[in-house]
Amino acid sequence: MDANLADALKFEGTNFLLVMIGAVVRQVLDAILLALLPLGYIISRVWARMRLRTEPPGVVLITGAGGEGLGAMLALQYAGPSTRKLILTDIHRGSLEPVAEACRAKGTAEVVLVEADVCDAAAMAKLADDHPDVDLVIANAGVAAHTVSGASAAQPTPPVTESSANLLSINVLGVMNTILPFVDPMRQRRSGHLVIMSSMGSYLPTAASPEYHASKACVRVYGESLRVLLRGTGVNVTVICPGFVKTPMTDLAASRHVHPLPLVVSGEDAAMRCKRGIDANMAVVSFPSPLLWITETVMSWPSTVRELIIPCPPGTQASRLARLVP
């Protein structure tokens, strides 16, 4: 046998062996990670309960608090005698009135309603100037692709070129416009809490809405990074990553799916989980747990494997590409 050929075969054999060893090691590590997920969840819950804050926030600001969405449910969770002022914002003031009534009925002394567009940086900065005593800011305002583009059950796939930019502006810049004006005032008094509403969809890519998942991944990483940056200043940051929450927005999303959305939680239950995590000063609050475990497990696999199991519903690829590529 030619010496060069022998050397080549030897190299290929060694290379194949190393690849196989690497694959086995990765599978073992994945199995260990999967086994540790429930233990990690239990430890995080125990630690969270040990860190429950003693004093509730006196002044709370929530964006996107109108209608029947998660923002409204959060407003009701924080409404009560312990909250002396509740500031609720929405792009449509009329949608805030019923929420404000319910909050006053629960004993909140002062409920302030503000019609505000989170994309307007100057307006959000003025809001912070008008209310420098805010203890807790919840940047909840956001949209899904089917809401910002005007989709409906009758017209589920409208043109998306312009609406993608609008979605990113609301979901990303809107969050920054909301929380950044409060950073310096909170740092100066060495107390305060900033909360960013992300999504479980920030972890796992799907074909349904690339721009939505990208926007939520952006604010999740931004919030986690901001928490590290503000460590030791007295300002806390929490990122919320809910799964499917039953709201008018998800009802519309469900109408576009052939199969029902998995593990949907009620708006009230979701708001309770959010508040519990915020009160415990958790870095990230993700729920429901089964969906989180599934998501983290899938994301621990190699990308080539994920591509095989993440579904792309029939017709989705053609319709999405037709809308995304002019």
Domains of the chain in sequence order:
55-324 (3.40.50.720)
Helix crossing, 210-229 with 161-168: angle to 10°?
Answer: 20
Measured between alpha carbons, how far is 264 from 262 in angstroms, rounded to an integer? 6
HSE-up of residue 124 (Cα within 13 Å, Cβ side): 26
Measured between alpha carbons, how far is 127 from 181 in angstroms, rounded to an integer? 9
> What are the residue numbers of the active site?
212
Closest CA to 188 of 133, 243, 108: 133
Residue 115, SS3?
Answer: strand
Phi-psi region of 236 (alpha: psi -120 to 50; beta: other; left: phi over 0): beta
What is the per-residue pLDDT for 75? 98
Q: How many CB atoms lie within 10 A of CB 129?
A: 10
Token digits of residue 30 = 């994945």
State whether the Cα torsion 257-259-262-265 is positive or negative: positive
What is the per-residue pLDDT for 156? 47
pLDDT tens-place values along the chain, 326 residues long: 555 545 544 555 556 666 667 777 777 776 776 666 666 656 655 555 555 555 789 999 999 999 989 999 999 999 999 999 999 999 999 999 999 999 999 999 999 999 999 999 999 999 999 999 999 999 999 998 655 544 444 444 444 566 788 999 999 999 999 999 999 999 999 999 999 999 998 998 777 778 899 999 999 999 999 999 999 999 999 999 998 888 766 555 555 554 566 678 898 999 999 999 999 999 999 998 888 888 888 888 887 777 777 766 555 555 544 555 54
DSSP H or E segment with residue 198 = none
Reading across the β-sheet that carries 110-115, which strands appear in turn? 110-115, 85-90, 59-62, 136-139, 192-197, 235-242, 284-287
What is the per-residue pLDDT for 307? 75
